[in-house]
Structures are given as structure tokens and as C-alpha cells.
């Protein structure tokens, strides 16, 4: 059977910006028959995520991510429909997902490595299982719960950077649902800021490309910052950290401003910001959602419930 697939064509280099030319679309073939335990799936959705920038390097810089190989098919979170099955627990027509889904139109996969999906949980919107009801939503939910130390009635202010992104937009809403009394987002356009406030329920949003971020933060968070959901790192994070309260918490989710640079993860803070962090006893531990897989099932059900109730906008 002839299929189409996306392979890694070249590496951008540790300090390079990825280009379309780093990938190649090509035709390939897969077997016409499947073996016992296998299923043939047709790809419906693929998730393209920031962490994949690390997989374009020969060394990903982390022990849990394998690099993509040159001229080999790329992979990541994906969803498809079973076209043929020789695996007992899956039948033709079932919807399935995997964190290691190959970027190709049709694939033959080991049935035991696939997770069966229940479309009704997300009102039939299957792609949500790669976003709000998948790893992205779990990252926001478990990040807030495991590293944010949010408590109902504690009058906490949450700031989210990269707030209009897949994870940030959920983190702000979940922070509110979990008990934060004030939620402020940081994003890069007026349109994004307006969506955060008008549709996602943020109290306020700052366009970091306009005006002075430090001044706007002081104005919007007069009692300081108690919880910071950090998706970006760099100058933005330094500005937020300098306005954080004693015994506050950074949820270290991502550092996208640093991904095209050859720096360790998490990148070290500038000395003056590190001094503030230590003096104010601000926690900043790297957060990896894959370390909390025992909480995955309950987490996904909570996210699906909020989506169905209209409490979580996607």
C-alpha cells in the first residue's frame, strides 16, 4: 500500500531556527497485510508541539525524549481510526490515540500501544484528546495542582505567560476553577489579549510587545504574584519573578523563548533574578507531566467534565 509520510530532512542546528526545508514529504509503502496483535490505522489528527524543537537536535537535552532520525518518519501525539485489526481489544471503526504516532497517512501499529478513545467524552470533538482533554490539558491541570499550591479562599493571584497558547489558555481557566481569585495573562497581540479576557475569563491580559510589562504587572497585580505558570522563560519570566511574593510558586512548564538556543533545561536565571528567587523562597522545579501518569485517567475525566459543562473553553 502506498502512503504519504513526513520525514526529518535536515537538522536546524542547536542554535538555529527551524525551517520548512528541515522536513520532507515523501511517498512510501507499508505491507498489505497485518500480523497478529497489529492494527492498521488511518491518521486523522496530529499534534505539533513546542517540545518537538528539541527532537530536531541530535541530542534532545532530556532523557525522556528521543531525537528524530534523519530521513526517518517524524512522530508525536496522534489520533486515528482502526481500518483493520488483529488485536483482541480493538475493532474496525474504533478511534485510538498514541504519544508516538507516525506522521503518515496510514500506519500499521502494535495494538497494545494504543489507547481507545470515547468520543462522547468530548462531545464528538476527537481532536480535543490531543489538546484540552489530552497531554496539553493534563499539563495545565497537573501543573496547577502539583506545583502551584493553589488553595480555595487563599486570595492568590496567578500569572500565565504564553497565555493564549494551547496550554496557557487552559492553565488560566483551570487556575480559576481550582481557586485563584485573580488571573492575568501575558500574550503577544491585542487580539489574543482580548480573547483571554472576553472568552477565557482572565481578569486582565498584557500585550508584552506594547508598553512596559513590569509597570502593567504592578498595576494589574497590586498584591504581587503568588503563582506563575511559566511557558516562555527569558525576559518575560525575569520580569514576573521580580514581582513574586514570599513563598510563591513557579510552575515550570516550558521555556519556548530559549528552545532555539543551546542552553540547559531549565535555563539558569540571571544572578539578580536567582537572588530574588532564593531570598523570597520561590519554588521553581521542572515540571514533567509524564511523571504523573497515575493521575492521568482521573485528570482526563475532570477535564472532559469541565468541557461538557462549558467551564473550560477550548
pLDDT by residue (tens digit) across 110-129? 999 999 999 999 999 999 99
pLDDT by residue (tens digit) across 126-183? 999 999 999 999 999 999 999 999 999 999 999 999 999 999 999 999 999 999 999 9
- pLDDT band for position 64 (cuts 50, 70, 90): confident
Axis crossing angle, helix 135-147 with helix 166-178, rounded to the nearest 10: 40
**b (16+ CB within 10 A) / e for 104-124:** bbbbbbebeebeebeeebbee
C-alpha cell at 106: 496510514
pLDDT by residue (tens digit) across 199-216? 999 999 999 999 899 999
Alpha-carbon distance 196 to 269, whole Å? 28
Domain spans in the chain, listed from the N-terminal domain onward: 2-117, 135-290
Task: Indicate the pairing of strand 244-252 with strand 283-286.
Answer: parallel
**Mean pLDDT score, 242-247:** 98
**Of 235, 311, 171, 135, nearest in space to 185 by CA:** 171
* Apex 76 CA angle, 72 and 80, nearest 5: 105
- Is 276 a residue whose pLDDT tops 80? yes
pTM of the predicted protein model: 0.89
**Of 224, 189, 191, nearest in space to 207 by CA:** 189
**Considering the chain, what percentage of its residues have pLDDT values greater than 90?**
88
C-alpha cell at 6: 513526513
C-alpha cell at 225: 504574584
Indicate the CATH number for domain 2-117. Answer: 3.90.180.10
C-alpha cell at 252: 515550570
**What is residue 22's DSSP assignment?**
G
Classified by CATH at the fold level, domain 135-290 comes out as Rossmann fold (3.40.50)
Amino acid at each position: 500500500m502506498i502512503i504519504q509520510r513526513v520525514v526529518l530532512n535536515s537538522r536546524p542546528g542547536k542554535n538555529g531556527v527551524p525551517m520548512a526545508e528541515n522536513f520532507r514529504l515523501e511517498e512510501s509503502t507499508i505491507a498489505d497485510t497485518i500480523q497478529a496483535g497489529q492494527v492498521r490505522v488511518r491518521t486523522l489528527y496530529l499534534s505539533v508541539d513546542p517540545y518537538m524543537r528539541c527532537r530536531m537536535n541530535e541530542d534532545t537535552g532530556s532523557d525522556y525524549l528521543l531525537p528524530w532520525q534523519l530521513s526517518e518518519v517524524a512522530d508525536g501525539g496522534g489520533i486515528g481510526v482502526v481500518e483493520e485489526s488483529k488485536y483482541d481489544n480493538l475493532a474496525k471503526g474504533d478511534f485510538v490515540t498514541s504519544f508516538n504516532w507516525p506522521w503518515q497517512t496510514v500506519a500499521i501499529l502494535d495494538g497494545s500501544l494504543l489507547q481507545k478513545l470515547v468520543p462522547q467524552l468530548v462531545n464528538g470533538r476527537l481532536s480535543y484528546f490531543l489538546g484540552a482533554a489530552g497531554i496539553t490539558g493534563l499539563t495545565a491541570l497537573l501543573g496547577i495542582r502539583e506545583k502551584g499550591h493553589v488553595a480555595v479562599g487563599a486570595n492568590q493571584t496567578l500569572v500565565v505567560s504564553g497565555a493564549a497558547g494551547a496550554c496557557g489558555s487552559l492553565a488560566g481557566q483551570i487556575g480559576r476553577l481550582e481557586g485563584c481569585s485573580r488571573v492575568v495573562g501575558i500574550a503577544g497581540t491585542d487580539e489574543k489579549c482580548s480573547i483571554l479576557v472576553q472568552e477565557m475569563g482572565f481578569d486582565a491580559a498584557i500585550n508584552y510587545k506594547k508598553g512596559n510589562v513590569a509597570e502593567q504587572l504592578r498595576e494589574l497585580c497590586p498584591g504581587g504574584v503568588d503563582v506563575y505558570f511559566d511557558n516562555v522563560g527569558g525576559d518575560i519570566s525575569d520580569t514576573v519573578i521580580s514581582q513574586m511574593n514570599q513563598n510563591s510558586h513557579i510552575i515550570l512548564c516550558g521555556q519556548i523563548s530559549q528552545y532555539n538556543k543551546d542552553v540547559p533545561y531549565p535555563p539558569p536565571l540571571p544572578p539578580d533574578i536567582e537572588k530574588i528567587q532564593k531570598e523570597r523562597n520561590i519554588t521553581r522545579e521542572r515540571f514533567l507531566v509524564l511523571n504523573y501518569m497515575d493521575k492521568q485517567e482521573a485528570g482526563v475525566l475532570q477535564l472532559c467534565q469541565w468541557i461538557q459543562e462549558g467551564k473550560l473553553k477550548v
